[in-house]
Amino acid sequence: MISLVHSPEYAKHQNETHPENQKRLEVLMNSLRKKGLLEKLNVHQPDPASEEDILRVHTSEYLKNLKTFTEQGGGYLDFDTYASPQSYEIAKLAAGGAIKASELTLEQYNFAYSMARPPGHHATSNSAMGFCLINNLAVAIKYMMKKYAIKKFLILDIDAHYGNGTAEIFYQDPHVLYISIHQDPRTIFPGKGFVEETGNGAGEGFNINIPMTPGSRTSDYIYVLEKILEPVCNEFRADFYYLDVGFDGHKEDPLSSLLLDDNFYPWIAGHMRKITPRMTLILEGGYTNNAMAQSNLKMIKVLMDNSITERKRQAHGNHQIKDETKNIYKQITNTFSPFFTF
């Protein structure tokens, strides 16, 4: 069973000329409606995260400044991150969506999917960044730790951009394993996410970065993820799983140079379903409406129907694995061999 967490209120965080605008969610919801899937999903409304919830992740000074900035009319917080007059309250609602989806997964559903905006994984403890205001996923994890005493969390982030905010927040925490597969940071924002960034202190070994070269295809992603995910997941033995979903690695997306196709997203959903029977999904990026909608539909269908198997052979296609991809895998196994057995 899968549920969807969504609110039309997300439209109030809006800048029509910006790639991260309300049309992203409108297209996703409309595609689900047209295909008859929306009526089959249990749709839940989120409640805003409380400031107490958010302050487990973000500094009080940052929250105060963000709230004041929006109350004064908003604008651009940095060169590409905007806030409109109601963005503070809507960002709290998006964080609440991640909390709601997490609780639904814990209590009732196999899968729950927070389709919210603004996204969150670039937001650091003290700064907005990369279209993100509040780190929705981090707020949800800290909430689940506090309220339900859940100990170990695993995040797989498939956005084309490294989730630097999420990584930073949990960089010294051995109870949160963050795995991010993203475009090589030498070629894309935020310029971080190298293999050598493994965590710090007690958290060393629990930040696994898989930087993929521009032009990497679905076959390259599958090659690496098949070899890494199961052994790492089996050894870490998380109590709770998140899939941080970004569709901006799609070959039609203007904000990356990756060449993933529609088949990657159902493949990764199916592969994660083999690893864990319960998982919470959090929407991050994706800026090409039609390709994002098709990828999202296929991913949700896999989670709705247990009879749908992985399209492994079809997903691999006829593309050969790039030598750079094989080298990345070797680099990861060499770097993380003190922590995991591959």
Read off the pLDDT of each residue in 27-53 and give the average, rounded to a whole number: 96
- What span, in angstroms and rounded, lies between the C-alpha atoms of 325 and 107? 39
DSSP 216-263: -BHHHHHHHHHHHHHHHHHHH--SEEEEEE--TTBTT-TT---BB-TT
Give percent of the chain above pLDDT 90.
95
To the query of whether residue 182 is one of the catalytic residues in this protein, the response is no
Phi/psi of residue 113, each to 5°? -130, 115
- What span, in angstroms and rounded, lies between the C-alpha atoms of 135 and 138? 5
Assess whether pLDDT exceeds 90 at residue 224. Answer: yes
Residue-wise pLDDT tens digits, 188-202 = 999 999 999 999 999
- What span, in angstroms and rounded, lies between the C-alpha atoms of 26 and 21? 10
Assess whether pLDDT exceeds 70 at residue 314. Answer: no
The pLDDT of residue 319 is: 75
Span of 49-63, 265-279, 310-324 with lowest mean pLDDT: 310-324
Assess whether pLDDT exceeds 70 at residue 182. Answer: yes
Q: How confident is the model at residue 316 (pLDDT cuts 50, 70, 90)?
A: low
Instruction: Quickly tell me which residue has 């963005």 as its tokens.
Output: 87
- What span, in angstroms and rounded, lies between the C-alpha atoms of 163 and 159? 8
**What residues have CB less than 8 Å from 306, skipping those under 6 apart?**
none
Residue-wise pLDDT tens digits, 76-91 = 999 999 999 999 999 9
- Residue-range domain boundaries for the chain: 2-336
Read off the pLDDT of each residue in 115-119 and give the average, rounded to a whole number: 98
Q: How confident is the model at residue 307 (pLDDT cuts 50, 70, 90)?
A: low
Beta strands in 100-193 (DSSP E): 111-114, 153-157, 176-183
Tokens of 46: 């989120």
Q: What is the pTM of this model?
A: 0.97
CA nearest neighbour of 249 among 180, 327, 178: 180
Out of 44, 58, 122, 271, the active site residue is: 122
**Chain-wide mean pLDDT for the chain?**
96
Q: How confident is the model at residue 23 (pLDDT cuts 50, 70, 90)?
A: very high
Residue 90, H or E segment: helix 87-107
The pLDDT of residue 318 is: 57
Span of 40-49, 246-255, 300-309 with lowest mean pLDDT: 300-309
CA nearest neighbour of 311 among 278, 272, 263: 263
Dmax (CA) of the chain: 54
Contact indicator for 114, 283 with CB cutoff of 8 Å: yes
Dihedral of the alpha carbons of 31, 34, 36, 37, in degrees to the nearest 10: 10
Residue-wise pLDDT tens digits, 43-81 = 999 999 999 999 999 999 999 999 999 999 999 999 999
Q: Is the dihedral of CA 289, 290, 295, 300 positive or negative?
A: positive
Architecture of the CATH domain 2-336: 3-Layer(aba) Sandwich (3.40)
Phi/psi of residue 248, each to 5°? -80, 0
Residue-wise pLDDT tens digits, 151-173 = 999 999 999 999 999 999 999 99
Give percent of the chain above pLDDT 70.
96
Contact indicator for 95, 134 with CB cutoff of 8 Å: yes
Count the neighbouring beta carbons within 10 Å of the beta carbon of residue 74.
18
Instruction: Quickly tell me which residue has 């690695």 as its tokens.
Output: 249
Q: What is the 8-class DSSP label of residue 113?
A: E
Assess whether pLDDT exceeds 60 at residue 112. Answer: yes
